Amino acid sequence: MKFQDFLLTEKQIIIQGTKGKKYGNIVLLAGGSASGKGFATKNFLEGDLYKIRDIDAVKDAMLKLDKLKGMYPEIRGLDLRNPKHVFQLHVFVADKRIKERTLDLLLQNIKAGTLPNILFDITFAKPKEPLDAIRRLIQIGYDPKDVNFVWVLQNYYIAIEQNKDPERGRIVPDDVLLHSHENAALNMVKLIRSEIPDLADKSVFDGKIVVIFNNPDNTVYFEPSPNAKKSEKLVIKDFKYLTLKEKGQHIITDKDVQKELYDQILKNIPKTANTKFLWPDAQK
């Protein structure tokens, strides 16, 4: 069976198996900083069906609250176009344990039988953080088969340019950007190889693994009509992604699929001492 047989060409990835399903599903959306996870959520996933837990959105809200009500003087006046300020805000939020508190609020009124879809926008730089959240969600009734990982794999050097985009709301420090792409790749490879023991346990995770190849040359748009205005949004016709594991099944080990996956990883991740030993069998 060829790699292409595993590629779906529909306009959206239907993680739940049923289009429009609003309950019971968890997506861990992994990828380095500036890799286009927000774009993927809006355009490739059914993003409007999820409660989205994005710590960057929380940071933005905290800055607005301080501006309106003076609640956080420690971060007053920070400019997210300044990488040093971005890092300062990150440290402040980490010290306040905001991630844990936002999850508490999210789960406050959840009842079994009406478990909302939740999407975690993460880098996956530290597996322990999403793992703790997954365990809590399973305890309140989510099924491990409905816990899914989606890796937004974008070329690191494209992410560097996107990080500098004047229309982007924040500029991540260069070292943070690099480490986020390194660690996202290292941990997603470990997940795919079942080398993260807790996530290799089917009582914790047994859902899908999807890899989106989120580079411009992998996204095809419908041709705009001759009378279309320049401000009109282009509509995505197709994009390239790989479903590497289906719900309740094993990782696909077909050689063509694995080779294409390896090639894409090697092509797109940063070339550093930490990543040069990834997928050595792909180079044979």
pLDDT, residue 217, reads 80
What is the residue-averaged pLDDT of the chain? 84
Residue 127 lies in a domain: yes
Of all residues in the chain, the percent with pLDDT exceeding 90 is: 37
Q: How many CB atoms lie within 10 A of CB 268?
A: 21
pLDDT for residue 116 is more than 80: yes
Ordered strands of the 51-54 beta sheet? 51-54, 118-121, 26-30, 147-153, 209-213, 241-245
Residue 129 lies in a domain: yes
120 pLDDT band (50/70/90 cuts)? Answer: very high
pLDDT for residue 7 is more than 60: no
Q: Please report the DSSP string for 69-121 in residue order.
A: H---GGGTT--TTSHHHHHHHHHHHHHTTHHHHHHHHHHTT--TT--B-EEEE
pLDDT, residue 138, reads 92
pLDDT for residue 12 is more than 90: no
10 pLDDT band (50/70/90 cuts)? Answer: very low
47-61, 119-133, 197-211: range with highest mean pLDDT? 197-211
- Residue 237 structural domain: 3-13+21-50+115-283
Of all residues in the chain, the percent with pLDDT exceeding 70 is: 85
pLDDT for residue 19 is more than 80: no
pLDDT, residue 86, reads 87
- Higher pLDDT, residue 105 or 11: 105
16 pLDDT band (50/70/90 cuts)? Answer: low
Residue 139 lies in a domain: yes
Residue 32 lies in a domain: yes
- Please compute the mean of the pLDDT values over residues 127-156 and round it to a whole number: 92
215 pLDDT band (50/70/90 cuts)? Answer: confident
Query: How many helices (DSSP H) and strands (DSSP E) are in the chain?
Result: 8, 8
pLDDT, residue 283, reads 47
pLDDT for residue 221 is more than 80: no
- Please compute the mean of the pLDDT values over residues 227-242 and round it to a whole number: 67
Residue 250 lies in a domain: yes
Structural domains of the chain, count:
1
Residue 77 lies in a domain: no
Residues 93-96: contacts with CB under 8 Å, at least 24 apart: 93/55, 93/58, 93/59, 93/62
- Please compute the mean of the pLDDT values over residues 83-93 and round it to a whole number: 87
Query: Residue 7's domain is classified under what CATH number?
Result: 3.40.50
Residue 223 lies in a domain: yes
Sign of CA dihedral 151, 154, 156, 162: negative
What is d(CA 244, CA 186) in angstroms, rounded to the nearest whole number?
A: 17
- Please compute the mean of the pLDDT values over residues 156-167 and round it to a whole number: 90
Residue 104 lies in a domain: no
pLDDT, residue 191, reads 95
229 pLDDT band (50/70/90 cuts)? Answer: low
pLDDT for residue 239 is more than 90: no
